[in-house]
């Protein structure tokens, strides 16, 4: 998570020996650039993400979209993303002279919030993908399993389990005071030494549960969903060609049979089913049994396809954005356990710090962009958002008019 990384980097910076002036200057330049960029990037992401996630919650819960179970998951995802952005902002406040992250109480809260919200955000994305997989690949179970009630149960269970799991952050983390042996001159938020094994186990478990397992599940389910969508469009084109050919043959048959003729009485009687039937316009049509239209379970409603395509885009972009951070965190985790370095340790640590910072900033964008993806990929969401904006604007104008009238009186 972000909080422990900050602490490790502070300790590493103070404990690195000076070995090469050129490398140190290059490292200092890149580190300074990353810090200045983060100085403006993190608060911008917090403001944009908080506003966009709040708007997403309002649109999902303030309209008929709340009747879909998948939108309940997306609402919970927006709340979790906002919580993580809040923890990120508290850590960022140190850069502007407010190091509240390194004070007792705030330290434990930020660590708990960052672990919990990032874990929930990841698994809410997994839950959305599983829900779409059931709706597309198991349509007979969609009406019973893809409901708002079932979504609320899953969200509540995930939240309760995650809070219970990471509640240990309140007693395993604290403030490390002045430590001359490690060249630490300021208090630092860090895990307690007596809980180091527990913290290590928690870090490994978090890496497996928020990196490895979700990545594999999302990759497999997205591939299956994408395959189902491809089959849907193939079947749709086949049915369109079939419908066009059938319409053309019907027109040709009607034009052939619509020649002027006299109406003869049937020798079998008027009620005989073997006789020709008369069209309301007087055109005699042969009574032929209607050919059944081919059906295929690969066809879905337009609404389902729209929602599925949007969520496929959301989860795929989520994987692409998080992949660099996932690779970097797994690599650092493996190196920390095996002690393997392919370059001199100082140069290796410096490079890893710079790359990790950029990957972390890219990772933060995944908590911000969902609202824009909803508007870009989902027509229903965009129309609902525009309609709600117009309604709010009309109500605001009416309120302003009433206030002016009251002041005039």
pLDDT tens for each residue of 161-220: 999 988 988 888 888 775 555 555 677 888 888 888 887 788 888 888 888 899 899 989
Q: What is the CATH number of the domain that holds 131?
A: 1.20.1070.10
Examine residue 250 and state whether it is found in any structural domain, yes or no: no
Q: Which residue has the higher pLDDT, 269 or 174?
A: 174
Structure tokens at 359: 């990957």
Q: Which pLDDT value is given to residue 236?
A: 64
Examine residue 211 and state whether it is found in any structural domain, yes or no: yes
Structure tokens at 336: 């920390």
Half-sphere exposure (CA, 13 Å, Cβ side) for 6? 25
Q: Which pLDDT value is given to residue 13?
A: 36
Q: How many domains does the chain have?
A: 1
Q: Which pLDDT value is given to residue 377?
A: 86
Q: Which of 87-101, 115-129, 314-328 has the highest mean pLDDT?
A: 115-129
Q: Which residues pair with 285 in a beta bridge?
A: 277
Examine residue 276 and state whether it is found in any structural domain, yes or no: no
Rounded-to-integer distance, Cα 103 and Cα 93, Å: 12
What is the per-residue pLDDT across 282-314, written as a single tens digit (0 to 9) for each?
444 444 444 444 444 444 566 677 778 788 888
Q: Is 287 helix (H, G, I), strand (E, B) or coil?
A: coil
Examine residue 37 and state whether it is found in any structural domain, yes or no: yes
Residue 396 has pLDDT above 50, yes or no: yes
Q: Which pLDDT value is given to residue 279?
A: 47
Q: Which residue has the higher pLDDT, 151 or 329?
A: 151
Residue 11 has pLDDT above 50, yes or no: no
Q: Which residue has the higher pLDDT, 110 or 240?
A: 110
Q: Which pLDDT value is given to residue 248?
A: 53
Total residue count of the chain as it appears in this document: 409
What residues contact residue 188 under an 8 Å CB cut-off, 6+ apart? 7, 10, 11, 102, 175, 176
Residue 333 has pLDDT above 50, yes or no: yes
Q: Which pLDDT value is given to residue 156?
A: 95
Residue 179 phi, psi (nearest 5): -135, 95
Q: Which pLDDT value is given to residue 58?
A: 94
- Tokens 């002016």, located at residue: 404
Examine residue 386 and state whether it is found in any structural domain, yes or no: no
Q: Which pLDDT value is given to residue 335?
A: 74
Examine residue 292 and state whether it is found in any structural domain, yes or no: no
Rounded-to-integer distance, Cα 202 and Cα 205, Å: 5
Q: Which residues pair with 179 in a beta bridge?
A: 184
DSSP-derived secondary structure letter, 281: T
Torsion, CA 245, CA 248, CA 252, CA 253, rounded to 10: 60
Rounded-to-integer distance, Cα 98 and Cα 104, Å: 14
Examine residue 50 and state whether it is found in any structural domain, yes or no: yes
Examine residue 260 and state whether it is found in any structural domain, yes or no: no
Which H or E element spans position 150?
A: helix 148-166
- Can you tell me the mean pLDDT for 118-137? 90
Q: Give me the percent of the chain exceeding a pLDDT of 90.
A: 25
What is the per-residue pLDDT across 349-382, written as a single tens digit (0 to 9) for each?
677 778 888 888 888 899 999 999 999 888 889 9
Average pLDDT for the chain: 76
Q: Which pLDDT value is given to residue 163?
A: 94
Q: Which residue has the higher pLDDT, 248 or 76?
A: 76
Q: Name the burial class of residue 280, with classes exposed (0-12), middle (13-18) and buried (19+) by CB atoms within 10 angstroms of its CB.
A: exposed
Q: Which residues of 203-241 are buried (b: 16+ CB within 10 A; e: fewer)?
A: beebbeebbeebbebbeebbeebeebbebbeebbeeeee
Q: Which pLDDT value is given to residue 158?
A: 94
Query: Which domain, by its residues, includes 28?
Result: 2-14+24-239+298-377
- Can you tell me the mean pLDDT for 273-282? 45
Q: Which pLDDT value is given to residue 130?
A: 92
- Can you tell me the mean pLDDT for 260-280? 45
């Amino acid at each position: 998570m972000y909080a422990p990384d900050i602490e490790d980097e502070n300790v590493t910076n103070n404990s690195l020996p000076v070995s090469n002036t050129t490398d140190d200057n290059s490292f200092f330049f890149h580190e300074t650039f990353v810090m200045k960029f983060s100085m403006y990037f993190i608060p911008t992401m917090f403001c944009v993400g908080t506003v966009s996630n709040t708007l997403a919650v309002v649109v999902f819960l303030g309209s008929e979209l709340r009747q879909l179970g998948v939108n309940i998951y997306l609402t919970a995802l927006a709340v979790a993303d906002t919580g993580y952005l809040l923890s990120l902002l508290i850590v960022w406040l140190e850069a502007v002279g407010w190091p509240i992250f390194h004070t007792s109480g705030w330290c434990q809260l930020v660590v708990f919030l960052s672990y919990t919200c990032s874990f929930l955000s990841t698994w809410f994305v997994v839950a959305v993908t599983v829900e779409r997989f059931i709706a597309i690949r198991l349509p007979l179970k969609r009406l019973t399993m893809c409901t708002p009630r079932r979504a609320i149960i899953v969200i509540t269970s995930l939240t309760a389990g995650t809070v219970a799991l990471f509640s240990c952050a309140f007693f395993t983390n604290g403030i490390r005071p002045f430590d001359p042996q490690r060249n630490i001159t300021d208090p630092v938020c860090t895990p307690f030494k007596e809980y180091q094994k527990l913290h290590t186990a928690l870090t490994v478990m978090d890496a497996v549960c928020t990196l490895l397992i979700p990545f594999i599940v999302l990759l497999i389910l997205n591939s299956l969903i994408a395959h189902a969508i491809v089959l849907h469009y193939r079947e749709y084109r086949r049915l369109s060609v079939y419908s066009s050919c059938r319409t053309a043959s019907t027109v040709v048959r009607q034009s052939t049979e619509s020649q002027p003729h006299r109406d003869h009485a049937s020798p079998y009687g008027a009620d005989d089913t073997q006789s020709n039937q008369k069209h309301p316009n007087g055109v005699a049509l042969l009574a032929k049994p209607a050919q059944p239209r081919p059906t295929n379970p690969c066809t879905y409603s337009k609404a389902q396809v729209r929602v599925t395509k949007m969520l496929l885009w959301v989860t795929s972009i989520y994987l692409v954005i998080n992949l660099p951070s996932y690779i970097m965190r797994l690599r650092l985790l493996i190196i920390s356990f095996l002690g393997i370095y392919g370059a001199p340790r100082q140069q290796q640590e410096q490079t890893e710090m710079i790359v990790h910072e950029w990957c972390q900033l890219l990772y933060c964008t995944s908590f911000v962009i969902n609202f824009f993806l909803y508007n870009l990929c989902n027509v229903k969401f965009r129309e609902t958002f525009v309609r709600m904006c117009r309604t709010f604007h009309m109500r605001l104008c009416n309120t302003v008019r009433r206030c002016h009238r009251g002041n005039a009186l």
